[in-house]
Amino acid sequence: MTSAFAGSALLGQRAIERSRRNPASVLGAVVFPLLFFALFNVVLRRVMDAQGFDYVQLLPPTIVVQAMLFAGMSSAYYVADDRLSGITERFASLPIGRAAPAIGRALGDLARAAVSLVVVIGVGVAAGMRFDAGLVWIPLFVLVALLFSLAVALGMGLLGLSASSPEAAVSLATIPYLPLLMLSSGFAPIENFPDWLEPIVRNQPVTVTIDALRALAGDGDISSTVPVALAWTVGLAVLFAAVGVRVIGGRR
Amino acid sequence: MTTYLLFFGRATRRFVRSAETMISTVAFPVLLLLTMLAVFSSSVEAFEGGDYAQRLVPALVVSGIMFGSTGTAVGLFVDLESGFMQRIRSLPVPASAPLVGTVAAEVVRATAAVVVLVAIGSLAGFRFEDPIGVIGFFLVAALCAVSVTWIGLSLATRAATQETLSPPLGALFLVLLFFSEGLVPLDAYPGWAQPIVENNPATAYVTSLDALARGDALAGPLTRAVAWSIGLVAVFGTLAVRRLRPEEVRRTESAPEPVPVAEAA
C-alpha cells in the first residue's frame, strides 16, 4: 500500500516535470488561454456590450473552461507517448501498484490545470472580473473547474490509448474541442443561436460548466447550475475512467 | 523551370494525399464558418447591419491560407530533419526551387479553400455584387497565399523542434486575424487598437477581398495588399532561401544531436 502510494506520487511528479519542460504544454496551459482572452476581449467587447452581454464579467469563466480543455487535451499526447515509447509496459513490471501510472497521470494533468486556472483567474480579475457572489464561493469555483479538466483529461487519455502516434492523438483531441467550445453560452448570448440549435447549446457539458462558474462568480443561480455541472463532470469522469480501465485491462 | 515544376508537383501531391491537410484546408474553414455564423451573426448584425457571412467569408479565406501554411511549414521542417533537403542539395538544383515549388502549390490549396468557402458562404448570404469580382477574388487569395507562406517556411528553416515551430506560428496568425476587420468592423475595436487593425497585413488581404465581393473601391486596399506581399516575400523569402544554401544546410543538419539526460536515464 505504501509503495502504491509512493509510486503514484512519484509518477505524478514525473508527469508534472514533463509538462513543465515541454514548451507546447506551457504554451497550451498559460499562453494560449491568455491570448484568447485578450483577443476576444478586444475584438468582441463593444459588440457584446452593445447587446447587454457584460463581456469582462462573463468571458473569464469561458476562458477558464477553454484553459481546462487545453490542459486536458495534452493528456492525449502524453498517454500516447508513454504507450508507444514502451514505458507504460515498463511501469507494469514495477511493484508500484496497477493504478499508479493512471493516478500519476491524473495528478500531472490536475497540476497543469491548476497552474492554468490560477493564471486565467488572475488576469480575469486584473481585467475587471469580480466574484460578486462572495469570496466563499471561490473554492467551489476551483473545484468545478478542476473536476471538469479531470473529466476532459480522462476522455482525452482514451484517445491516447488508441491513437497511432502522439501527434495523431493531439489532432484527434482538437476535433471535439472546437464545436463544444464555440457552440456554448461562452462567447455570445445563448439567444443568438438558431432556435433548433439552442436546446443542444443550452444543455451540453461545456455550457453547463460555464454557467456554473458564472453563477459562482455572481451571475446566475448557484443552486440550479452547480449541481448540474458537478453531475455532468463526475459522470463523464467515471464513464471515461471505467472505459479506460477496461481498455487497459483488455490489453494485459 | 522543370525543376520548379517538379517540386510544385511534389508539394501538391503531398497535401492532396494527406488526410489531415485536406481536413485543415477544406473541412475546418467550413466548420469555422458555420460555427462563427451560429455564434456571432446576431450580435454583429445588430452592431453593423448587413449579412455577417459577407464579412466572414474573406476573413476565413485568409484564415484558411494562414493556418494551412502552418502545415506546409511543418512539412519543410520534416524535410530538413529527414535529410531530404541535404540530398537535394547534392543535385544540380537551384537553392530556391524546393521552396518556390512549395509556395506555388499553396495557390492550389488556397483556390480549393476559396471555392468551398464561397459555395457554403453563398448559402448563408455571401454575394458578389459584380461577377467580375470573382476573378479578382481568386487572384488576391493567390497573392495572399504566395506571400504569407514564406513566414512559416523561414521559421521552419530556423526552428529547433516542431514544438517551437507550429504553436508560435499559430499564435502569430491568430493575432493577425483577430486584428483584421475580418470578424467585426473597425469601429468595434477600442481606440488604441484601431491603428494596429488598419496597418496589419491580414487586414490588407481581407479588405481587398471584401472590396472585390462588395464592388467597393479597390485601389486603396489592393495597394496595401501588394505592398505587404512585396515586403513579406522580400524579407521572409530571402531569410528562408539563404538558410538553405549548401553550407548552411550542412551546418544545421550534421551537428551531433545532444542526448537529453532525462530521456536517456
Q: Evaluate whether A246 touches A160 at the Cβ level (below 8 Å).
A: no
Q: Please write the tens of the pLDDT for every residue from A57-76.
A: 999 999 999 999 988 888 88
Q: Considering only CA atoms, which of A147, A131, A139, A144 is closest in space to residue A220?
A: A131
CA of B180: which chain A residue's CA is closest?
A: A43
Q: What is the pTM of this model?
A: 0.81
Cα distance between residue B177 and residue A162, in whole Å:
34
Q: Please write the tens of the pLDDT for every residue from A43-62.
A: 898 889 888 889 999 999 99
Comparing CB atoms, the residue among B163, B179, B184 nearest residue A44 is B184
Q: Which residues of A touch B81 (CB under 8 A)?
A: none
Distance from the Cα of A148 to chain B's closest Cα (Å) equals 23
Q: Do B178 and A182 touch (CB under 8 A)?
A: no
Residues of chain A numbered 5-24 and touching chain B (CB < 8 Å): 17, 21-24
A8-22, A141-155, B60-74, B128-142: least confidently modelled range: A8-22
Count of C-beta atoms within a 10 Å radius of residue B239: 16
Query: What is chain B's length?
Result: 265
Task: Tabulate helix, strand, coil % of chain A (nearest 5).
Answer: 85, 0, 15
Q: Please write the tens of the pLDDT for every residue from B104-163.
A: 888 888 888 889 899 999 888 898 988 888 999 999 999 999 999 999 999 998 888 877
Comparing CB atoms, the residue among B44, B171, B190 nearest residue A35 is B171
- Is A45 at the interface with chain B, CB within 8 A? yes
**Cell match 500519476: residue?**
A104
**Phi and psi of A193, rounded to 5°?**
-75, 150
**How far, rounded to the nearest angstrom, does the alpha carbon of residue B87 sit from its chain's CA centroid?**
27
A167-171, A182-186, B222-226, B252-256: least confidently modelled range: B252-256
**Helix runs in A86-165, H state only:** 87-92, 100-127, 138-162
